[in-house]
Structure 1
């Protein structure tokens, strides 16, 4: 089973997914023959070894990018040191940064953690914005800003993003009398998450028995909040989620889905959720680009052609990571060159073609590997075109250092509604109390 690396609440195991290319193995180390030489020190024969500190599967090795770089730079060898789960990787990274020891030449940072790293650890990283060949214009503006400190120092370069869509089961839609063509489906909820609920109400009335409209209220909330401009912090760094109209709107949508029993009452990335996906027990799911590979893996051959992909009610982002170069590294100049190369549009396009990681570099969107990409498992959906359009319309959000804690507790509150333990008001109060306790407020 492959490792899914984009952190989601405490799970920490989402996907930089495979898009119609088969299933991939989880990566725990670089000691197999499929990757780069794993010698330490000078790499043997006078070569410099660049160490990559990663979590989950980023796909660089599997897509052949390390070998390509080594061929272009014969004096370089690349070694991966991988911790499978970001929930285990990130605390260790913070400890290494705080002590300024034990760091790899390159360290990955997940989007949920980038704000905290920028705020508290920026002095431990090189300014990659000053590296030769790196251009701010080559990245989505909001992606570049997420890893840039107030003084203009850019501590990480974006590897990928998670533009949103809605994946849906055509067979279930047909049985419910809903359109199945992806353009017509998108019109059902265009521009408004409330319309998404309206379609769900029609589905509940007319759809197949035992099939929920959507997997979870939590996933509805994720989609809605990802497509809003406001979130949990303001630009001054103040926690404002309790007063945020965007958070309130996303909560109301998700709470209604839970209270009206439009959801399958499933917790994402559990065995029960996997099984429900395999069985076709829900008709729709909030679907960032990496989710396609997860659906394909869990759905298997019996679900091929039953799923399709339509535009989300509004563009949003869920997921993505960065590569940074610690100042304390022995090989920081060579490491910076490697990071610049790995995140260049050409390599991001190759990675998308081989692994499904959606590029954070818009110039890649005009390359054939992205522009003309389709996915046969999802009815030849034009995923390159669809996700490129979404990525370029994503609202710029202020990312806070403790977003993940707030997000987790909001998700827990929504589960209370699904389980019939609280009404929306009571569940919100529970979520706020838990979040504030965790934030020491």
Structure 2
């Protein structure tokens, strides 16, 4: 059996006008292969999904199936790839991973994806936390995605760096230290900066994303109205973050660029906001930078202000696939509870199925890289009370292209907080309207 991984480069971000050009019903209908006929299924994911061993297992169970896997480096680039191919009307894999942050845009063209009710997903509706299943349901009641992970958040921290700063460095002590709101997180961060002269977090963008996701309503209201300009709660959180960054707490790293992972190893920053799927990012970058478990990263059962969700994904089958039934079968299998546990063990992606969550909570397994932290049971606790925020059609665009550049300028000291907010509003007007 062969398993290939082809990397697809993203093109320019497709805007709303491009989405409107997508032609419905343009897929060429083809006969599904018989059960024993050789079949090649293509799948595109992004980031760290932890599916490699599962692909091999599925091909062992189904000797007639060959999986051709393509993984794109980031969710943002995957969004570009997906919408560029949707606008072209061709090129999408048989299975496409969709990220929660751009699901609002996907729902505007949901007819380009198979209604999975035709392939039995309703029989599995009770497998997932209810809001996860609902997220993948379009306004017409069509269900277009099998839920993969969700993103309950904790705090990754570097124990030796905490100890050197005179702060508690054990997991329970750190959880107690940071148990409070964002004001507590930033107050401790300033203590750390004052004691060490080093940064507290990697860059403002990821912290901002976590802060926004925690609000009942973020960049959009729950009924789909834009919710940035004039949003006092959002502005108050921005001011909190800006003050901390101006105080030296940001390491001014690039989004998804930590000097080849070296910044996780050399003490550039001491904390990292960690939804479950980020655990794989931390470990992978630490190892890429020459570190290992002895570098000292750990995972604390705490998050500023309480429960929060960042991210999560879905597996969808485009209408352009000529192997819809086989693709749906693979996507369904990959998202069953047993496979979600395997995925979690490989990449830290926390399951969206209730059975898998219960298993991880009941049988905590120490994670050797994170100082033997029982990350599964910690995340199960962090998931309690989480409800994903409504994401509007330009949610990820606002996060990355409206707030991203001003926050980077803030990190570099080129703008103060008020200037960064004003620049974000200007970009909002330019890019979203």
- Which stretch has the larger CA shift, 76-85 or 193-202? 76-85
The aligned residue for residue 254 of structure 2 is 267
Per-residue deviation at 1:106? 1.6
Question: Separation in 1 of the partners of 2:355 and 2:178?
Answer: 30
CA distance in structure 2 between the aligned counterparts of 1:77 and 1:435, rounded to whole angstroms:
44
* Paired position in structure 1 for 2:347: 355
Structure 1 residues 264 and 76 mapped into 2: Cα distance closer, same or farther (>3 Å)?
A: closer
TM superposition shift of 1:346: 1.2
8 Å contact kept, 1:255–1:417: yes
Cα offset for 1:44? 12
Distance 1:151 1:370, change over 3 A: farther
1:420 to 1:95, Cα distance in 2 relative to 1, 3 A: closer
TM alignment of 1:149-168, pairs within 5 A: 149-168=138-157
Structure 1 stretches of at least 4 aligned residues deviating more than 6 Å after TM superposition = 2-5, 41-45
1:308 to 298, 302, 313: 298
What secondary structure is seen at the aligned counterpart in 2 of 1:161?
Answer: strand
Structure 1 residue 181: Cα displacement: 2.4
Equivalent residue number for residue 50 of structure 1: 41
Q: Secondary structure at the match of 2:351?
A: coil
Match of 1:169 in 2: 158
Deviates more, 1:164-173 or 1:295-304: 295-304
Structure 2 CA distance for partners of 1:340 and 1:44, relative to 1, 3 Å: closer
1:232 aligns with 2:219: yes
Pick closer, same or farther for the CA change 1:267–1:370 going to 2, 3 Å: farther
Shift of 1:273: 7.6
Cα distance, 1:381 vs structure 2: 0.8
- The aligned residue for residue 234 of structure 2 is 247
User: 1:404: which partner in 2?
Assistant: 396
Q: Classify 1:80/1:173 alpha carbon distance in 2 versus 1 (closer, same or farther; 3 Å).
A: closer
Larger CA deviation: 303-312 vs 193-202: 303-312
Task: Choose from 419, 422, 432 the match for 1:429.
Answer: 422
More divergent stretch after superposition (375-384 vs 412-421): 412-421
2:412 corresponding residue in structure 1: 419
> How far off its partner does 1:108 sit?
1.7
Deviation at 1:360, TM superposition (A): 1.8
**Aligned match of 1:283:** 270
Shift of the 56–342 alpha-carbon distance from structure 1 to 2, 3 Å rule, reads same
Cα shift at 1:227 = 1.9
CA distance in 2, matches of 1:175, 1:283: 11
Tell me the TM-score normalised to structure 2 length.
0.83
Checking the alignment, whether the CA contact within 8 Å between 2:309 and 2:388 is kept in structure 1 is: no
- Are residues 178 and 334 of structure 1, via their aligned partners in 2, closer, same or farther at CA, if it must alter by over 3 Å? same
Q: Deviation digits for residues 90-124 of structure 1, max 9, x if unmatched? A: 334324334543333222212222110112x1112
User: Equivalents in 1 of 2:382, 2:360: separation in Å?
Assistant: 18
Cα 1:45/1:343, change in 2 over 3 Å: closer
TM-score, normalising length from structure 1? 0.82
Among 318, 321, 326, which residue is 1:329 paired with? Answer: 321
| Count of aligned residue pairs for this structure pair | 401
8 Å CA contact 1:230–1:247 kept in 2: the answer is no
